[in-house]
Structures are given as structure tokens and as C-alpha cells.
Amino acid sequence: MFYCIVNPSARSGHGKEIYKLFEEKCKANGIPYKVVFTKGPGHAMNVVNRLTSKKLPENASPLNIIVMGGDGTTNEVVSGIADFDNVRLGVIPLGSGNDFVRDLGFPKKTEELLDTILKGEVVRELDIGNVHYNKLTKTFSRLHDERIRPDRKFDVSAGIGFDAAVCEEALSSGTKNFLNKIGLGKLTYGSIAIRQLIHADKTSCDIETDDGQHVHYDHLIFAAAMIHHYEGGGFNFAPDADLSDGCFDLIAAGDLSIRKAFLTLPLAFIGKHYGKKGITHIRAREIKITTELPLWVHTDGEVLVKSADITFTCLQKKLKLLS
């Protein structure tokens, strides 16, 4: 049995077309399946949580779940999994960024990817992360889930500060929706990023790791706990990241003038930012971040709430992929 979670609005509505191909293949090969089309923020997470919370009969096969959507839909599915030991996940990337699959070497043809997934065999095991909100504010994102939980899983990256603020504004941007339809969605992030960098709140920050590392910024720009190499639709923030070693690559930036920030941050697009003034790169399994002022926090580009105290924990090889 394959359970398919589809974001029907992904890739400007082409999600339904990809699903039809999946349906045809299942019918042709006698493979049982069920489908859920997502209806809004939090829907995919709730569906998957109910599905994976059920106690499986003894000797039952693991659940095969396929997600068709962007990084946000994949994040919801991963966040909803209650029992990772009994779930195998297949991902069909249909977003504008697709950072989750950017460093996985997926087949470019969707049909080939579907054929691999429908074999039902685990291809690889990847780390996932958990962000725990040690303190929650009442400042919610314009597109937040109905219920904000103190913990949230992520499979690509999670961050606090500038990158999260850009995501929060972009998620509710009508301009982004229009540009996505004509294939220029990334232009939205560029204009928002410039504005956020100029007008961002100035706040101090302390970063502490489980192995005793400590970093302080008088003026934090952002800090991101990376599992994969890329975030933000292709910025190579963690060029040396290992997707299954149980550690984050934490990238932080701060104590830079606006001019210097504009010169330094674009280097991350090609992975050449390490060693530059104001840039910190550390590796750790657990990272605690506290800020003087509450800032937006994102998980795989999804933004729910502001916080001034969070902890990232890396969970090694929890995600079993069919693709």
C-alpha cells in the first residue's frame, strides 16, 4: 500500500498531473494506494500523524508514504511522522526551491523517479532535525498552523533571524504566487531579502553547543542549522554537509555592516563564504540559540512563530527514503 500526499497547487497546479501518472502506474501494476490532497497549512502534518500513530499489527510491513509537493509539504509530512521506524518516504519534488532533493541526485524524469519509489525499497537513510521552542511568543506568522507545538521536525535546515524573516514575508506574498506561475518565483526572495537586510531588528545572540562551543554576536543577522547543503532555493550554505553523520553544519552571520553583508552573503550561493569576517561555521549534534529580541524561526522555509530561545537537535538516520 502506498499513501500519497499531494499539494494540488504545487508547481502552479501541476501536482495533480503528476499524481495522475502515479495513479496510472499503480493501476497498471496492481499496486494498492490511497491519496489525500492537502487543503492548507498543517493539513498534511495532521493526516500523516494520524496515519503513523496507529499501532501496526505484528509483522506488518512499514507504511509507504509518497509526498508530491515542495519543501514545505515535505516538511509537514516529516513533522507529522509519529514512528520513523515504520515509515518509508518517497519524495516527488514539485516546489520552486526543492532544496531537499538538490544534493540527492534524483532522476530528472519524474517517471523514472516514480518507478524507483514504487519498488518499495529503502534507497538511503538521512538525518532529520528537531527544533524545540524553549520560549514561545504570541507573534505568529501570517500563514501558521492552527496549533503551534513546542517541537517541530525539519529535513533540510532550520534557522532564526534574517533567512526566516525573508521566508515569512514570502510565504504570504501575492507577488510570489504570480511570479511562480510564470517561473520567476525566486525574484520574490531577492527583493524581500534586500528589504529585510536593511530594516532587520538589531539584537545580540549567543550560540552554545553540546560539546562546549560558544559564539556571541552583538548583532546577529541569522543562524541556520543545516542538514543538506542548500537552503533558500539554492544557496550553498553548507558545502561540506554530511546528510547522515548525526551532526548539523551551523552557519551564522553577524556583526557586519549592511554594505559588508551585501558583499559577503551572496558568496554563499557558490559556497565560498567560509572564513569570511562575520561568518561562523561549526558542527554539532545539539545547538542552543538565545537572542535578546524574539526573531522569526523557520523549519525548511516554513515559519510559524517568533522565539528568543530555541534548541536544535540532530536525529541520525531517522528518515528512510524510497527515492
- The string of pLDDT tens digits covering residues 115-162 is 999 999 999 999 999 999 999 888 887 766 667 889 999 999 999 999
Long-range CB contact pairs, 261-269, < 8 A, 24+: 261/197, 261/221, 262/197, 265/197, 265/221, 268/235, 268/236, 268/237, 269/234, 269/235, 269/236
- Determine the average pLDDT of the residues in 57-83: 92
Mark out the alpha helices in the chain (DSSP H runs): 10-13, 15-29, 43-53, 71-80, 110-117, 162-171, 174-181, 186-199, 258-264
For residue 70, being part of any structural domain is answered with: yes
CA–CA distances in Å: residue 235 to residues 34, 60, 61, 189, 274: 35, 41, 38, 12, 13
Judgement on whether residues 312 and 240 belong to the same structural domain of the protein: yes
Q: Are 235 and 208 in contact (CB under 8 A)?
A: no
| Same-domain status, 112 and 187 | no
Residue 303 shares a structural domain with residue 189: yes
Characterize 66-83 residue by residue with b for buried, 16 or more Cβ atoms within 10 angstroms of its Cβ, and e for exposed: bbbbbbbbbbbbbbbbee
Which pLDDT belongs to residue 208? 98
Residues 179, 94 share a domain: no
Is residue 63 assigned to a domain? yes
66 lies in the same domain as 215 = no
Q: Which three cell numbers stand for residue 145?
A: 498552523
- Here the CATH number for the domain that contains residue 199 is 2.60.200.40
Domain assignment of residue 80, given as a range: 2-121
Number of domains in the chain: 2
Q: Look up the pTM and report it.
A: 0.90
Which set of grid coordinates corresponds to residue 236?
Answer: 550553498
CB neighbour class for 175 (10 Å; exposed up to 12, middle 13-18, buried from 19): middle
Using CB atoms within 10 Å of the CB of residue 208, give its burial: 0 to 12 exposed, 13 to 18 middle, 19+ buried: middle
Of the three residues 53, 86, 121, the one that is the final residue of a domain is 121
* Among the ranges given (8-12, 219-223, 279-283, 300-304), the one the predictor scored with the smallest mean pLDDT: 8-12
Q: Write out pLDDT tens, residues 213-259.
A: 999 999 999 999 999 999 988 899 999 999 999 999 999 999 999 99
* Distance, CA of 267 to CA of 270 (rounded, Å): 6
Phi/psi of residue 103, nearest 5 degrees: -110, 20
Residue 322 in any domain: the answer is no
In 10 A of CB 57, how many CB atoms?
A: 7
Nearest alpha carbon to residue 281 among 197, 213, 203, 211: 213
- Gap between the Cα atoms of 292 and 249, Å rounded: 23
Phi, psi for 243 (deg, rounded to 5) = -75, 0
pLDDT tens profile 9-25 = 877 667 788 899 999 99
Question: Of all residues in the chain, what percent carry a pLDDT higher than 90?
Answer: 69
**Integer CA distances (angstroms), 307 to 37, 225, 290, in order:** 31, 16, 9
Q: Are 216 and 204 in contact (CB under 8 A)?
A: yes
Domain identity same for 42 and 102: yes
Domain CATH for 6? 3.40.50.10330
List the grid coordinates of 217.
Answer: 554576536
| 294: nearest Cα among 281, 308, 315 | 308
Backbone φ/ψ region at 102: left (φ over 0), alpha (ψ -120 to 50), beta: alpha
Quick one: 145 and 246 in the same domain? yes
pLDDT above 70 coverage of the chain, percent: 91
What residues form DSSP beta bridges with 87? 63
- Terminal CA-to-CA distance of the chain, rounded, Å? 16
Residue bearing the bigger pLDDT, 186 or 101: 101
Is 155 found in the same domain as 275?
yes
Give how far the C-alpha of residue 134 lies from the chain's centroid of Cα atoms, to the nearest Å: 20
DSSP structural state of residue 9: T
Strands 286-299 and 157-161: antiparallel
Residue 323 lies in a domain: no
